[in-house]
Amino acid sequence: MDQTEPVTAQIATWWQRVEIKRIVWIWLGMSVVLVIFALIVPARLMGTPASPTMRAVESTMTIFSVAAAPVMALVLAVAVYSLVGWRSRGSEPPTGDGPPIRGNGRVTATWMVVSSLLTMFALIWGLGEMQSLSAEASPGPNAMIVNVTGQQWVWTFSYPQNGNIESDQLYLPVNRQVVFHVTSRDVIHSFWVVELGIKVDANPGEVTKTGVLPDKLGTYTVRCAELCGLLHAHMETQAHVVNSADFSAWITAQGGRAS
């Protein structure tokens, strides 16, 4: 009798094995738990959104987390069962490996198709979000320009439409598009306001642009998200989103002209 017959039979019916069924049940349970986690936790960790951009970021994080949950659950299910169900007991070495599944055409094809679909989904979604961000960085008829300059270890904001006044804190009027022109005087920094959904590199000698529409009053933290030296962790200031009257009053108090 052909010595390969038992192995071939085992490969053909691998999905009927008790171990595989247990792994499937573990995978289903973990998938449910991770999907619930993805729907609730990631968005909440980023704070209350203060712009449509940040809400889009939260939606992307949630959708990507949900899409990744079954994949992560499968890896965890195999790992958990391997540690518990397939561990070697006693002092003797294992008698041998179980039948492989890498020669199973259906499993290989399914893995390739699912992986390709997830990759295409992430690519298409990402391209759409990039296009949306590019549109936000294009100034509209009533957009306000703010020049952002990073240097070790402070932020400086200037308002060219309001007499080029400068401040070490950021003031923005609510419900008005803002386009940031971001640069650096020394090393690479990263201009980051979590609640507004803004994060863009500040490169020396270059100007990068990004835009946002603040729609929630409040005070938010401006951080540097690029390791930039000894006091990187302290390179913080405040972003104030205020109503139009308060913004005009602040501009006037700084010696600028309201627009």
**Where are the chain's structural domains?**
5-85, 144-253
Q: What is the pLDDT of residue 103?
A: 66
Residue 173 backbone zone (phi > 0: left; psi -120 to 50: alpha; other: beta) = beta
* Of 174, 249, 161, residue with least CA distance to 212: 174
Q: What is the pLDDT of residues 59-94, one digit of tens each?
A: 888 888 888 899 889 888 988 888 887 777 777 776
Torsion, Cα of 249, 254, 256, 259 (10° steps): -30
Q: What is the pLDDT of residue 231?
A: 94
**Contacting residues for 242 by C-beta, under 8 A, at least 6 apart:** 171, 172, 173, 174, 217, 250
Task: Give the span between the Cα atoms of 224 and 237, in whole angstroms.
Answer: 10
CATH entry 2.60.40.420 includes domain 144-253: yes
SS3 content of the chain, % helix, strand, coil (to 5): 45, 20, 30
Q: What is the pLDDT of residues 151-181, one digit of tens each?
A: 999 999 999 999 999 999 999 999 999 999 9
- What mean pLDDT is reported for the chain? 85
